[in-house]
Amino acid sequence: MSKNGSTGSRRKAAPASGVKPGQTLDLERYVPAFVTFIANKLSRSATALYQKRFGVNVTEWRIMSLLAIEPGITASRICYVIGFDKGPVSRTLALMQKRGLIAIKTDPRDGRSHSISLTPKGRQVHDQVIVAALERERRLLACLRKDEREVLIDLLRRVHSNLDAVTDHGEPGED
């Protein structure tokens, strides 16, 4: 084993096409970083606000907002739409059910499937949080003109629909 911990038998990975040795990301132009940084900061500040004012965190809010749009959906649908793993969603759903925010019913035709809906209490909390959520969006996008907001939404939709280009295939450089 060498000083850096690698074995001599390992093949050194070839740099991706066009990458120069010692190259670094330009965080002012690297889109995945921008999207991640924005999402992390939005989530952190939303959790702080929603927890303080409404007693829910941002994950619970995301689930509640989806349940308001699609009452009776399954946990796997929630995972697919919001892009979360099943474990954290299942734990969050269990806590939300315990707090009386959602109802989980077993599908009588398929005992393995469950439909999830907001309870009246959950809908009441949703209706309070949505006011704050829409105000946060308004304030975030206030730096853009209406036509720029429409362009941004269109671009984000297109990028979102192109995620398969980086999620359904092997890592770049793999054969």
| pLDDT tens figures, 50-101 | 999 999 999 999 999 999 999 999 999 999 999 999 999 999 999 999 999 9
Instruction: Tell me the three state secondary structure of residue 23.
Output: coil
More confident call, 4 vs 94: 94
**Residues 149-161: pLDDT tens digits?**
999 999 999 999 9
Q: Which residues sit opposite 105 in a β-bridge?
A: 115
Task: Answer whether 68's CB lies under 8 Å from 129's CB.
Answer: no
pTM more than 0.85: no
- Return phi, psi of residue 117, to 5°: -140, 155
Residue 7 has pLDDT above 50, yes or no: no
DSSP 85: -
Six-digit token string for 149: 């907001």
* pLDDT at position 113: 79
DSSP 20: P
Cα 142 to Cα 36, 65, 136, 154, distances in angstroms: 21, 23, 10, 17
Instruction: Tell me the three state secondary structure of residue 86.
Output: helix
